[in-house]
Amino acid sequence: MRQYNIPKNRFRNFYHFFELTSTMDECVNFIEKGIGSGIVLADSQTAGYGRGQKSWSSADNGNVYLSFFEKIDPNAEITLIPQRCAVASLLAVKPFVGEASVRIKWPNDILIDSKKVSGVIAKQIIFGKRRFYICGIGINVFPPENGGGKFVWEPASISDHNKNIDTGDVVSKLVASIDSAFSLPVGEILKIYGENVGWMVGRRLLYTQNYEENSEGEILGFSNDFSALKIGNGPETREISSLSILSIS
The pLDDT-based confidence of 249 (bands split at 50, 70, 90) is: very high
pLDDT of residue 132: 97
CATH code where residue 158 lies: 3.30.930.10
User: Which CATH number fits the domain that encloses residue 218?
Assistant: 2.30.30.100
Query: What are the two backbone dihedrals, phi and then psi, of residue 72, each rounded to the nearest 5 degrees?
Result: -85, 125
Same domain, yes or no: 78 and 31: yes
Residue 176 near residue 106, CB atoms below 8 Å? no
**pLDDT higher than threshold 60 for residue 29:** yes
> What are the Cα distances from residue 12, in Å, to 9, 25, 27, 77, 104?
6, 19, 14, 19, 28
- pLDDT at position 151: 74
Q: Does residue 126 form part of some domain?
A: yes
Burial class (CB in 10 A: 0-12, 13-18, 19+), 202: exposed
pLDDT at 148 over 80: no
Same domain, 106 and 140: yes
User: Measured between alpha carbons, how far is 79 from 72 in angstroms, rounded to an integer?
Assistant: 10
What residue numbers bound the domain in which 191 lies? 14-198
pLDDT of residue 44: 93
Do 138 and 40 share a domain, yes or no?
yes
Residue 7 resides in a domain: no
Co-location of 128 and 218 in the same domain: no
Q: How far apart are CA 221 and CA 25, in angstroms?
A: 34
For residues 123 and 205, membership in a common domain is answered with no
Give me the pLDDT at residue 149, please. 59
List, in order, residues 6 or more apart from 10 with CB less than 8 Å away: 37, 70, 179, 182, 183
Q: Are residues 171 and 234 in the same domain?
A: no
Question: pLDDT for 54-109, tens place per residue?
Answer: 555 577 899 999 999 999 998 888 999 999 999 999 999 999 999 999 999 999 99
Q: Is the pLDDT of residue 203 over 90?
A: yes
Residues 64 and 114 placed together within one structural domain of the fold: yes
What pLDDT, on the 0 to 100 scale, is given for residue 60? 86
Same domain? 110 vs 212: no
Same domain flag for 134 and 174: yes
Position 38 in a domain: yes
- Shared domain for 66 and 103, answered yes or no, is yes
Domain assignment present for 215: yes
Number of structural domains found in the chain:
2
| Same domain assignment for residues 102 and 125 | yes
Of 198, 213, 232, the residue that ends a domain is: 198
212 confidence band (pLDDT: 50, 70, 90): confident
Identify the three-state secondary structure at position 122.
strand
CB-based contacts of 202, cutoff 8 Å, min separation 6: 218, 219
Strand partners, 123: 134
Q: Please give the average per-residue pLDDT across 161-165, as a whole number.
A: 97
- Residues 119, 213: one domain? no
